[in-house]
Amino acid sequence: MRSVIFDLDGTLADTSLDMINAGNAALEGIGIAGSLGPDDAGTAFGGGMALMNLGFQRAGRKDVPVKSIHYPLFIKAYWGALSSHTVLYPGVADAIEGLRSAGYAVGICTNKPAAPADELLRRLGVRDLFGSLVGADTLPVKKPDPAPLFEAIRRLGADLSRGCLVGDTITDFKTARAAGVPSVLVTFGPGAKIVADLAPDATISSYVELTQVIDRLNL
C-alpha cells in the first residue's frame, strides 16, 4: 500500500500565532518581556524551544533555556491557546480526501508532542482523515531521524518503501532523504526560499496540486 505522510505545523495548518502567543506567555512567566511577533512564524514552526531561545536572545540573556525546565512552561501555555488562531491551509481537507479516494493511506509525522497534535486536529475537524499520528514524544527520537516517519507508515499497514513525506522545512527534507523516500515541500510558508534551494523531489504552491504531484512520484 502506498502512503503519504504529512508534517503538521506550517504544512497542514498555520499554527504560528498560537505558538508565538504561547511562547510570549511562557517567557513572561519567568520574567522575560514577550518580544515575539507575527514575523517570527518561521521560528514558531521550528517548535517551542526555538521560540524560547529567540526570546532569551532578544532579552539579552547570556544563558539559554533548559528543555526540562522551560519547555513544560511553553506546553502549558500552548494548551491554553491551541486553536485560538490556528487554521488549516486552503484545500487541505479536500486534498486529503482526494488522496484517500485514490487509494493512498495518509498519516502524520510531526515534531509537536502527540497529545496537543491530536487534540488540535480534532478541533480543526480533520483528525479522522489520518490513519496514523506520530509525534515528537511517540518514540525516543524525532525528525530528522527517519524512525518516526517509518513508524507513521508502519501504523498505516503500508509499504515502507512506497511512502513520501509532505513538509515545509529542511527537517522534513532531511527526514525523507534519511528514510529513502521522496519529499514534497510546500512553498506557501515562511521558508519558501529555503525550500527552493533544497531542490526536493516536488513542491506544491497550493493543495489543489497535491494529488497530481503525488501521482507523478510513482510511489
The torsion of the CA quartet 211, 173, 147, 81, rounded to 10 degrees, works out to: -80
Nearest alpha-carbon partner for 211 in 115, 74, 107, 98: 98
Report how far residue 88's alpha carbon sits from residue 15's, in angstroms, rounded to the nearest whole number: 9
> Grid cell 499497514 — which residue?
157
Identify the active-site residue in 7, 9, 14, 168: 7
DSSP secondary-structure letter at 136? T
> Is residue 159 annotated as part of the catalytic site, yes or no?
no
Report how far residue 159's alpha carbon sits from residue 182's, in angstroms, rounded to the nearest whole number: 14
DSSP secondary-structure letter at 89? P
Residues with a catalytic annotation lie at 7
